[in-house]
Amino acid sequence: MANLNDDDELDSFSNERANEDNIESAMKPHDYSSRRVLVWEGDDQRRNYAVEVISTLLTGAFVEGVATEAEALQKLDEELWDTFVVDFYNEGCSESEFVKKVNNYPDSILVALNLAPFTLPEERNRYKIEPLRKLFEIEKPKAEDEEASSEDEDSFNEDNFRD
């Protein structure tokens, strides 16, 4: 018969290990100075906290927040960005013209987050939100011509192994 304490200890061990991983990862130096992040959030407080949290997570990155879709579209047309952050819980966001354009924006990623929790101090703890930083490390898939050239380099050539 399983002992409830054993399960509790296992859960505790898993949580401790996850926290240790987050602390270790958060302590490593990361340079995001080449990154440009545009945050679209209509609520002033949420936007300010989101910019603060993302700036902390992505050390050295340029992070800017805008309040309206019109501002976001204007920034999209005027400047180069590699990362876009939106809150799909905001009404109309997922069907917006901005999101449609961003999905076709070259060499960029779209990160959809619930920005409301960032208003709570405990949710802005660097170690607690370390897994969030990893979302920004996901690379966009290579274009077809890039894949073809890398396949050529990696492909097996039988002639290389003949006597």
**What pLDDT score was predicted for residue 161?**
44
**What pLDDT score was predicted for residue 119?**
74
**What pLDDT score was predicted for residue 75?**
97
DSSP labels for 40-109?
E-SSHHHHHHHHHHHHHHSTT-EEEEESSHHHHHHHHHHS--SEEEE-TTSTTSTTSHHHHHHHTSTT-E
Do the Cβ atoms of 115 and 41 come closer than 8 Å? yes
Q: Which domain holds residue 102?
A: 33-110
User: Does residue 156 belong to any structural domain of this protein?
Assistant: no
Amino acid identity of 83?
T
> Which residues sit opposite 143 in a β-bridge?
none
Residue 121 phi, psi dihedral angles, 5° rounding:
-55, -40
Q: How many domains does the chain have?
A: 1
Give the CATH number for residue 50.
3.40.50.2300
User: Does residue 134 belong to any structural domain of this protein?
Assistant: no
User: Does residue 50 belong to any structural domain of this protein?
Assistant: yes
User: Does residue 45 belong to any structural domain of this protein?
Assistant: yes
**What pLDDT score was predicted for residue 117?**
81
**What pLDDT score was predicted for residue 90?**
92
Do the Cβ atoms of 60 and 85 come closer than 8 Å? no
- Residue 136 has a CB neighbour count (10 Å cut-off) of 19
User: Does residue 2 belong to any structural domain of this protein?
Assistant: no
Residuewise pLDDT in 10s, the chain (163 residues):
444 444 444 344 334 444 555 555 555 657 788 999 999 999 999 999 999 989 988 889 999 999 999 999 999 999 999 999 999 999 999 999 999 999 998 889 999 998 888 777 766 676 777 777 777 876 655 555 544 444 444 444 445 444 4
pTM, full prediction: 0.68
